[in-house]
């Protein structure tokens, strides 16, 4: 029989486990771009009904005829939000990878909505550097600080691209590709396996031990080069592939012999836009189908996890299978839905917000039980349908 203290401890543990399974969705609206969008014809179609422009939860899209679509997320960041503001909101999540958690941060949205800006930004410019540089700087800084307490960390970085359900190692120099004239193929087959410890093993994938942000930034440059070579050869492929940066963190405490194994995945997803159905044939059609399939698989997986369903369809796409150990269980997931505010993007923005609302819907379901007032104001039904409001 358990004593009272143990009962409380277990209850607390379960509560924390439940919280951990949660998936959070942040919405980020980029500013209108000075070239082309910031004109009379192209006004922002986005409004922030609840708390002003920064850090609210609500977002409205307003159609030309006044039809309004209302959504709410864990946080909504308006166009004034800086890269630093964003990082402040996620730095704790990043930090938890050092405590041994498996963390995934995604950027979802149509091409041009600010995914890469959010993830990478301009790594060499203080004001514009994105999540990846900021996260790594923090992780290396913290891991050094923890040395005083006896911790020794080793970190390995990898970077890959998933295009048409094929994995490409971005840390292999692209030479081999060029010779073949086909950048998609390095001749290497990358198979995904999960070992007993819950780690993902990708065969033939380059893993580089890193000890500083400077080393990682070198790798990122190499990856960008490798990607852009692919880009010319493959018709701007980069917007149609998922780019996954992974940092594996192992720590051991020399005095207590405690061990931690954390993972940080930072994922710049393929552009979510539906390419026009007419005209998409052959390779283009295959590509569109692969993107749509893998993005909807990601949505299905997140939804199944949030619903605590017994079967989570990880195996339906390369991306979800790759990230399986880092999605669900006691891992932590955050999705940014990036939005372009101009009127031409309204349809795509609506699609992105609907996708994100669906992914977030179950959390609203959870919130309903505990804080009914918040649930009542939510405008997204548990099924992810959007309830339009007209004014």
**Contact positions vs ligand ADP (CB under 6 A):** 30-31, 33, 109, 111-117, 239, 338
* Binding partner at 114 among ligand ADP, Mg ion, none, C-beta below 5 to 8 Å by kind: ligand ADP
DSSP annotation string for 275-325: PPSTT--HHHHHHHHHHHHHHHHHHHHHHHHHTT-S---GGGSHHHHHHGG
CB-based contact 123:217 (threshold 8 Å): yes
8 Å CB contact between 375 and 382? no
Site string for Mg ion, 294-313 (x = CB under 5 A): --------------------
User: 169 near 160, Cβ under 8 Å?
Assistant: yes
Burial class (CB in 10 A: 0-12, 13-18, 19+), 155: buried
Q: Which residue number, 116 or 200, has a Cβ lying nearer to Mg ion?
A: 116
Cβ proximity to ligand ADP: between 112 and 262 the closer is 112
- By CB under 5 A, residue 272 contacts Mg ion: no
Q: Which of 224/252 has CB closer to Mg ion?
A: 224
Any known ligand binding at 56?
no
Of the two residues 105 and 202, which places its CB atom closer to ligand ADP in the complex? 105
Task: Find out whether 113 is annotated in a ligand binding site.
Answer: yes
Angle at 181 between CA 171 and CA 201, to 5 degrees: 30
Known binding residue 154? Answer is: no
Nearer to Mg ion, 128 or 194 (CB): 128
Q: Is 15 annotated as a binding residue?
A: no
Helix (H) or strand (E) holding 141: helix 131-145
CA distance 326 to 321: 10
- Name the residue nearer to ligand ADP (CB basis): 80 or 309: 80
Nearest to 218 by CA among 226, 292, 326: 226
Q: Are 97 and 245 in contact (CB under 8 A)?
A: no
Query: If binding means CB under 5 A, how many residues of this protein chain bind Mg ion?
Result: 2
Residue 220, phi-psi category: left (phi > 0), alpha (psi -120 to 50), beta (remainder): alpha
Give the chain's radius of gyration (CA, Å). Answer: 21
- Cβ proximity to ligand ADP, 158 vs 338, nearer residue: 338
Candidate segments 108-116, 200-208, 334-342, 355-363, binder of Mg ion by CB under 5 A? 108-116
Distance between alpha carbon 128 and the CA centroid of its chain, in Å? Answer: 18
Q: Give, in degrees to the nearest 5, the angle at Cα 111 between 40 and 158.
A: 145
Contact of 233 with 163, CB cutoff 8 Å: no
Least Å distance, CB 318 to Mg ion, is 19
Q: How far is the CB of 86 from ligand ADP (least distance, A)?
A: 9
* 110 assigned to a ligand binding site: yes
The site partner of 352 among Mg ion, ligand ADP, none (C-beta below 5 to 8 Å per kind) is: none
Asked if residue 111 belongs to a known ligand binding site, the reply is yes
Which one of Mg ion, ligand ADP, none is in contact with 30 (Cβ closer than 5 to 8 A by kind)? ligand ADP
Question: CB nearest Mg ion: which residue?
Answer: 116
Minimum gap (Å) between residue 291 Cβ and ligand ADP:
13
| Minimum distance of ligand ADP from residue 91's CB (angstroms) | 18
Q: Which of 81, 113, 116, 158 binds Mg ion (CB under 5 A)?
A: 116
Interface positions with Mg ion (CB under 5 A): 115-116
Binding residues for ATP: 109-116
Binding residues: 109-116
């Amino acid at each position: 029989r358990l004593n009272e203290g143990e009962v409380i401890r277990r209850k607390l543990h379960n509560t924390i486990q439940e919280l951990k399974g949660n998936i959070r969705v942040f919405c980020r609206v980029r500013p209108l771009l000075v070239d082309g969008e910031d004109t009379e014809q192209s006004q922002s179609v986005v409004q922030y009904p609840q708390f002003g422009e920064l850090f609210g939860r609500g977002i409205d899209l307003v159609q030309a005829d006044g039809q309004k679509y209302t959504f709410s997320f864990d946080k909504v960041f308006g166009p004034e939000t800086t890269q630093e503001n964003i990082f402040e909101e996620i730095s704790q999540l990043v930090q938890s990878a050092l405590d041994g958690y498996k963390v995934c941060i995604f950027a979802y949205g149509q091409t041009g909505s600010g995914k890469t800006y959010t993830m990478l930004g301009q790594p060499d410019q203080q004001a514009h550097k994105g999540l990846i540089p900021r996260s790594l700087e923090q992780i290396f800084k913290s891991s050094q600080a923890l040395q005083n307490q006896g911790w020794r960390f080793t970190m390995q970085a990898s970077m890959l691209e998933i295009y048409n359900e094929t994995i490409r190692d971005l840390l292999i120099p692209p030479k081999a590709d060029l010779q073949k004239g086909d950048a998609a193929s390095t001749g290497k087959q990358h198979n995904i396996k999960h070992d007993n410890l819950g780690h993902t093993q990708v065969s033939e994938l380059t893993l580089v031990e890193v000890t500083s942000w400077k080393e990682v930034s070198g790798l990122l440059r190499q990856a960008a080069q490798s990607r852009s070579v692919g880009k010319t050869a493959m018709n701007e492929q980069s917007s149609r592939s998922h780019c996954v940066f992974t940092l594996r963190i192992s720590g051991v405490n020399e005095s207590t012999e405690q061990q931690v194994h954390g993972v940080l995945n930072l994922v710049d997803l393929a552009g979510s836009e539906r390419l026009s159905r007419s005209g998409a044939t052959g390779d283009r059609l295959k590509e569109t189908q692969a993107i749509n399939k893998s993005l909807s698989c990601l949505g299905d997986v997140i939804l199944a996890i949030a619903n605590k369903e017994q079967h989570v369809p990880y195996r339906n796409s390369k991306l979800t299978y790759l990230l399986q150990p880092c999605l669900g269980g006691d891992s932590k997931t955050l999705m940014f839905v990036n939005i372009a505010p101009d009127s031409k993007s309204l349809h795509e923005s609506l699609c992105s917000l609907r996708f994100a609302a669906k992914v977030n819907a179950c959390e609203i379901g959870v919130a309903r039980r505990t804080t009914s007032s918040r649930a009542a104001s939510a405008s997204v039904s548990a099924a992810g349908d959007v309830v339009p409001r007209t004014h």
